[in-house]
A and B are shown apart, each in its own frame.
Chain A
Amino acid sequence: METLTAIQKQYLEQPKERISGSEAIVRCLLAEGVDILYGYPGGAIMPVYDELYKYEDKINHVLTRHEQCAAHAAQGYARISGKVGVAMATSGPGATNLVTGIADAQIDSTPIVCITGQVPSHLLGSDAFQETDIVGISTPVTKWNHQVTKASQIPEIIARAFYIAKSGRPGPVLIDITKDAQFEEFDFQYKKCTGVRSYVPVPKTDDSSVTAAAELINSAKKPLIIWGQGIILSKAELELKALVEKAGIPAAWTIMGASALPTSHPLNIGMVGMHGNYAPNVLTNDCDVLIAIGMRFDDRVTGKLDEYATQAKIVHFEIDPAEVDKNIQTDVAVLGDAKQSLLQLLPQINTNSHPEWLQRFKDLYEIEYDKVIKNDLHPTKEGLTMGEVLKEINIQTKGEAAIVSDVGQHQMIACRYADFNVTKSNITSGGLGTMGFALPAAIGAKMAAPEREVVAVIGDGGYQMTIQELGTIFQNKVPVKIVVLNNEFLGMVRQWQQLFFEKRYASTEMVNPNFVAIAQGYYIEAKKVTKREDLASAVKEMIDSDAPYFLEVCVEKEGNVFPMVPSGASVSDIRLE
């Protein structure tokens, strides 16, 4: 059970009081424990902003510079804290600008609640100024959405929104509220939602499926665990560690699962997928039992489906029944919450170790080290690599920073080389691959966890998609550290052009502005590094700073990310060069 704050108690289940719909919205948020929300005002949401002004001592509304970034900031907030992030926007363009963030939260199972203003109900469907059918538009990318046209519906619908966003497999919820409902007065009272009759957030775990899973795991000679974000979402980090150690099973992670088990753990054998590590990809097609926990066999993980782990028995621990047998046919599916399922499984697991099998991962790691890692982390060539920047960040932050990455080459390098010694430390746009995600998400993450070091690692392309959020960082004094790895290319697309389109670099070369001057224009301390000998001190200076800090590192222009599973290839056909 969550513990309620004093403010929450002040607004939960109080005697009825006649207030406006807009004041009710703010009180609902307070009752749900919202301390920060991100948004942008406009005509159809103005009554709510008027109330936020009155309640500003209790709730901090952060003005982003674009609504998309309000959604991403809410995502960053949710990903690092496990709490529901909140974004607010006006009708029409305000609402449509949220959609990218909502879609990102949907595919990455991030709990956010978006509240949008809407034209007065008598104008609905009349093509009024800034009217858009945001409920229709957001339907395919929300876990749930709803339009409110009467003030009296507000408490129940908002309670339901928070419940649905957070429970089961989390996701985004959008609530659209007409302006007349915001003005209307009614007798307000707030009760938390505890259930929706048509909705089963966590399916019942079948005891016999747990036993069957335990039998397969105990009998395995070459078992492999692949865990995903489900571990983090269900707070099952310790249970995963216990399973891995008790059964002595090498464990790999999907990009969304990163940081649930520390990088330094001897049984953590790295990342699976397109740019994952060599050993877990190759040996996916050699293991005898594949234990998937809280992951969904995304195509970037599996490569060619009909050549994926065909030799193995598949055990799938999963909260969402629709994910079972969706891409990979399972032998044993254990439905339910990962933490509860693992707790049930652990006593049935025999203490074991697989030294010879583990050695094969170590041998393949040596190959990857020689061919790839050595050159990424300890380059002998002149140009700086992205990998060595990550290595410096690891040193300066002791591997305890939350790394917020954008999308592309730098993202893959960040996920491959960052030391993740603390859970909830890899905040990135996994499923949707949203360039521009990192800077606003870092704002949300830092504000939700001010005690943590938050380092945004961004490419020069993605950075310019949401660069205006430097304004939000400056105005709110959010001490995020921003590292732009500048190769003057849209690097990942350029890499594909090099490998698969005979180096026809169509629209991937970037002529960039003076990034340092731009940061300084927002009064953010900024530095540019072009030489290896300046890198360590610059990263140290950045981490030592208590203020927001911008560091541009000019890296090798045509560096590639390897290993790589080319699209359409089998995971065991992963290329090292």
Chain B
Amino acid sequence: MTTEKQLYTVSVYTENNIGLLNRISAIFQRRHINIESLNISVSEIEGVSRFTILINMSEDQIKKIIGQIEKQVEVIKAYYHTDDDTIYQESCLFKIKSDLLFEERQIQNIIKESNAHIVTVNKEFFVLEKSGRRAELETLHKALSVFGIMQFVRSARIAVTKDELKISEMLNAFKN
């Protein structure tokens, strides 16, 4: 088993219950594990939530963490995956002064080349949205920061796995 640290995407299917976030985050907190990013959303199954947690740790550690997560009564199933096993993205928003859009020709080129898109424009500012890998987002951030960014925000990673996760089968098995 490897003790080398790497990035893992943890996907947790859960019942949609108040308090579960607290229960899951406590597992990390107790062990001084830093969560790189955390996203909670609906999943492909009605009434089932999906946590996507990004953590940097070794494989033998992550296996234990998965055990602790799955032990929670309202967790249906937890998985961990490497970047190679998943399709993943983050997205970010830039709020930038509108003047720059017209005064700095370079900005228009950056927008075009980065495949970012403009969400809204008004007299004071415009909002630029970009989804992709972390490195692409960072490159764009770097390119724009020379002009001045009024606000910046980046989302947590979201990811789907290349392999099938048989959650529906598991839930159907319970009914029968």
Residues of A within 8 A of B (CB): 135-136, 139-140, 143-147, 164, 195-199, 320-326
Contact = CB atoms under 8 A, between A and B. Distances in A.
Given A139-B26, A198-B73, A322 B67 contact: yes
A145 to B, nearest CB: 7
A197 B174 contact: yes
Q: What 8 A-B pairs come out closest when comparing CB atoms?
A: A322-B67, A197-B174, A198-B76, A144-B73, A199-B73, A322-B71, A140-B26, A198-B74
B19 A325 contact: no
Contact of A321 (B18, B70, B175): B70
A139 B22 contact: yes
Instruction: Determine which residue in A144, A147, A320 has the highest number of CB atoms from chain B within 10 A of its CB, and name it.
Output: A144
A324 B64 CA distance: 9
Given A136-B19, A136-B22, A196-B73, 19 more contacts: A135-B19, A139-B19, A139-B22, A140-B23, A143-B73, A147-B18, A197-B174, A198-B14, A198-B73, A320-B71, A321-B67, A322-B67, A322-B68, A322-B70, A322-B71, A323-B67, A325-B63, A325-B64, A326-B64
Contacts of B143: none
Interface in B52-67: 63-64, 67
Instruction: Determine which residue in A135, A139, A321 has the highest number of CB atoms from chain B within 10 A of its CB, and name it.
Output: A139
Given A197-B76, A198-B74, A139 B14 contact: no
Contacts of B18: 147
Instruction: Determine which residue in A140, A147, A199 has the highest number of CB atoms from chain B within 10 A of its CB, and name it.
Output: A199
Interface of B: 14-15, 18-19, 22-23, 26, 30, 63-64, 67-68, 70-71, 73-76, 171, 174-175
A323 B63 CA distance: 11
Contacts, number: 48
Main secondary structure of the interface of A (DSSP, over half): mixed
A195 B174 contact: yes
Nearest to A169: B71
A145 B19 contact: yes
Contacts of B75: 198
B71 A198 contact: no
A204 to B, nearest CB: 11
17 contacts: A135-B19, A139-B19, A139-B26, A143-B73, A144-B74, A195-B174, A197-B15, A197-B76, A197-B171, A197-B175, A198-B74, A198-B76, A320-B71, A321-B70, A322-B67, A324-B67, A326-B64
Contacts of A136: 19, 22
Nearest to A145: B19
A84 to B, nearest CB: 16
Nearest to B170: A197
A275 to B, nearest CB: 27
A112 to B, nearest CB: 15
Contacts of A135: 19
Nearest to A198: B76
Instruction: Determine which residue in B70, B73, B174 has the highest number of CB atoms from chain A within 10 A of its CB, and name it.
Output: B73
B73 A140 contact: no
A135 B73 CA distance: 15
Contacts of A323: 67
